[in-house]
């Protein structure tokens, strides 16, 4: 069993908070030598002084606990957006460029205007292109924020907030390993679905409030599609609950860590994709692609018919938010598929090193989880750049007449396999 790199996010953040408080305390002591009334405040933050006064330790103060929680949430949000979102956009842009037989983005670090080394001999556009997304983000931040005439201004500006905040809410309950999470909820999977289901209202309001026929049609299509494809997803999870008996992501992953059957030296793990739930896995993945508005299901922003769908009238960083957060939803969807069907962060066992008594895993759980999430995302990107867009009547046919009956069939299969003992409940 591989170990997590972050054993407990809250404890790690507590160490960080106490370090920050110590630095602030030294500054306060320095100020107190000039302004004497600050001495009491500085002593309140001083662990040694609190010991002498028999006060509660600093880590047990409600103020410090609140700051620690805020830092933990910030760490997860920065991890999700600044690392995973940018990396996923870079992976997609490079990958579809390769599918189209070209190089894609190639900005190198030498093109930074303040890069201090010799720039004359270095190629500026023969790098890996990772900085291109940051450059695009800076460009969007500089642009003017335009509100269309006759638009409902308050609604127009509140809907990107709705979409972005509900997408970030997913990451409050999404664990990245058995230690790297903010909240361990008993109903974590249900919480993630609740956060997913808030977006259609924001999309519909943004489509209506821009007072443009293209955004209105795009918003209507998006809301109809998201609502329709959330049903098979939830039905598939209901089928999976027959096996897991729990909606806690940590429990679901722990059940998949055992070995199902050994074929010589290779042990097949008991992931739910190898159970009779393979049909549920397919239905869940297809619905998740629709939920992310990726290309076979990107009828809400069909470029040929609607200019850019419901994001047409947004400009500047608001466009960046509603556009970029689609990748964040894709990461969340891939992580959900990984947790439910692909064994989460369980991977082959490697030894752990002991550095000064502290166990350091060679390949930590976070690495396995990221590997699976990125593989699932790359498969999504591969599909979406290889197939044409389906029409709106075909989308409704696929959703209501194919996926929902199949997901009901997965419930029957799950109930039957449990009743006849085909699959031992872990």
The residues that touch another protein, with contacts defined as CB under 8 A, are: 149-150, 152, 155, 158, 185-187, 190-191, 193-194, 197-198, 200-201, 204-205, 208-209, 211-213, 216, 220, 223-224, 227
Q: Which of 268, 259, 325 is nearest to 291 (CA)?
A: 325
Q: Is residue 344 within 8 Å of residue 249, measured between CB atoms?
A: yes
Alpha carbon distances (Å) from 136 to 34, 86, 105, 133, 139: 47, 11, 11, 5, 5
Which tokens hold the place of 302?
A: 């069909």
Q: How far is the CB of 12 from another protein (least distance, A)?
A: 26
Minimum CB distance to another protein smaller for 62 or for 304 = 62
Pick between residue 75 and residue 158 the one whose CB is nearest to another protein.
158
Q: For residues 28 and 292, which CB has a smaller minimum distance to another protein in the complex?
A: 292
Whole-number minimum distance, CB 319 to another protein, in Å?
21
Q: Nearest distance from residue 195's CB to another protein, in Å?
A: 8
Q: Closest CB to another protein among 121 and 149? A: 149
Q: How many helices (H) and strands (E) does the chain have?
A: 16, 4
Q: Shortest distance, CB of residue 61 to another protein, whole angstroms?
A: 15
Query: In degrees rounded to 5, what are phi and psi of residue 396?
Result: -65, -40
The whole-angstrom separation of Cα 416 and Cα 414 is 5
Question: Residue 200 or 364: which CB sits closer to another protein?
Answer: 200
**177 vs 119: CA distance, rounded Å:** 42
Question: Which is closer to another protein, CB of 9 or CB of 205?
Answer: 205
Closer residue to another protein, CB minimum distance, 194 or 278: 194
34-57: buried (b, 16+ CB within 10 Å) or exposed (e) per residue?
A: eeeeeeeebbbbbeeebeeeeeee
Decide: 273 and 342 in contact? Cβ < 8 Å.
Answer: yes
Dist CA 21 CA 34 (whole Å):
20
314 or 380, CB closer to another protein?
Answer: 314
What's the min distance (Å) between Cβ of 347 and another protein? 30
Residue environment code for 254-264, b if the CB has 16+ CB neighbours within 10 A, otherwise e: bbbbeeeeeee
Name the minimum Å distance from CB 266 to another protein. Answer: 40
Task: Give me the least distance between CB of 187 and another protein, in Å please.
Answer: 6
Alpha helix ranges (H) inside 79-130: 86-99
Whether the Cβ atoms of residue 233 and residue 194 lie closer than 8 Å to each other: no
Closer residue to another protein in complex, CB, 151/317: 151
Q: Looking at beta carbons only, is 191 or 345 nearer to another protein?
A: 191
Task: Compute the least distance from the CB of residue 169 to another protein, in Å.
Answer: 10
Residues 49, 231: Cα–Cα separation, whole Å: 58
Strand-strand pairing, 266-269 and 358-361:
unpaired
- Residue 152 pairs in a beta bridge with none
Query: Minimum Å distance from CB 339 to another protein?
Result: 17
Alpha-carbon span 298 to 135, nearest angstrom: 26
In the complex, least distance from residue 291 CB atom to another protein, rounded to whole angstroms: 12
DSSP three-state, residue 263: strand
Task: Return the number of the residue (151 or 373) whose C-beta is nearest another protein.
Answer: 151
Whole-number Å distance between alpha carbons of 229 and 404: 9
Q: How far is the CB of 190 from another protein (least distance, A)?
A: 5
Please state the length of the chain.
Answer: 426
Burial letters 298-316, b for 16+ CB under 10 A, else e: bbbbbeeebebbbbbbbbe
């Amino acid at each position: 069993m591989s170990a997590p790199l972050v054993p407990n996010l809250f404890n790690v953040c507590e160490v960080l908070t106490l370090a920050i408080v110590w630095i602030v305390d030294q500054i306060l002591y320095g100020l107190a030598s000039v302004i004497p009334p600050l001495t009491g405040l500085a002593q309140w933050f001083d662990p040694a002084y609190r010991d002498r006064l028999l006060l509660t330790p600093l880590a047990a103060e409600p103020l410090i606990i609140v700051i620690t929680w805020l830092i933990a949430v910030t760490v997860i949000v920065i991890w999700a957006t600044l690392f995973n979102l940018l990396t996923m956009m870079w992976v997609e842009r490079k990958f579809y460029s390769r599918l189209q037989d070209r190089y894609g983005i190639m900005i190198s670090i030498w093109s930074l205007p303040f890069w201090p080394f010799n720039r004359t001999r270095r190629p500026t556009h023969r790098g890996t292109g990772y900085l291109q997304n940051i450059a695009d983000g800076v460009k969007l931040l500089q642009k003017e924020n335009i509100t269309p005439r006759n638009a409902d201004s308050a609604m127009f500006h509140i809907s990107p907030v709705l979409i972005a905040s509900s997408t970030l809410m997913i990451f409050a309950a999404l664990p990245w390993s058995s230690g790297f999470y903010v909240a361990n909820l008993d109903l974590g999977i249900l919480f993630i679905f609740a956060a997913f289901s808030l977006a259609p209202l924001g999309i519909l309001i943004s489509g209506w409030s821009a007072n443009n026929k293209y955004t209105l049609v795009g918003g209507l299509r998006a809301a109809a599609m998201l609502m329709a494809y959330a049903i098979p997803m939830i039905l598939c999870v209901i089928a999976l609950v027959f096996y897991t008996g729990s909606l806690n992501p940590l429990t679901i992953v722990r059940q998949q860590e055992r070995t199902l059957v050994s074929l010589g030296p290779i042990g097949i793990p008991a992931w739910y994709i190898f159970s009779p739930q393979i049909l549920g896995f397919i239905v869940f993945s297809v619905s998740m692609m629709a939920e992310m508005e990726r290309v076979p299901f990107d009828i809400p922003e069909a470029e040929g018919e609607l200019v850019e769908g419901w994001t047409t009238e947004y400009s500047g960083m608001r466009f960046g938010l509603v556009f970029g957060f689609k990748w964040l939803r894709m990461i969340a969807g891939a992580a959900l598929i990984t947790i439910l069907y692909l064994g989460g962060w369980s991977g082959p066992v490697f030894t752990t090193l002991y550095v000064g008594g502290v166990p350091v895993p060679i390949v930590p759980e976070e690495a396995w989880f990221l590997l699976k999430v990125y593989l699932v995302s790359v498969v999504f990107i591969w599909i979406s750049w290889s197939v044409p867009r389906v029409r709106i009547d075909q989308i409704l046919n696929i959703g209501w007449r194919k996926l929902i009956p199949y997901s009901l069939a997965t419930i029957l299969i799950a109930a039957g396999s449990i009743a006849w003992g085909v699959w031992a409940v872990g």
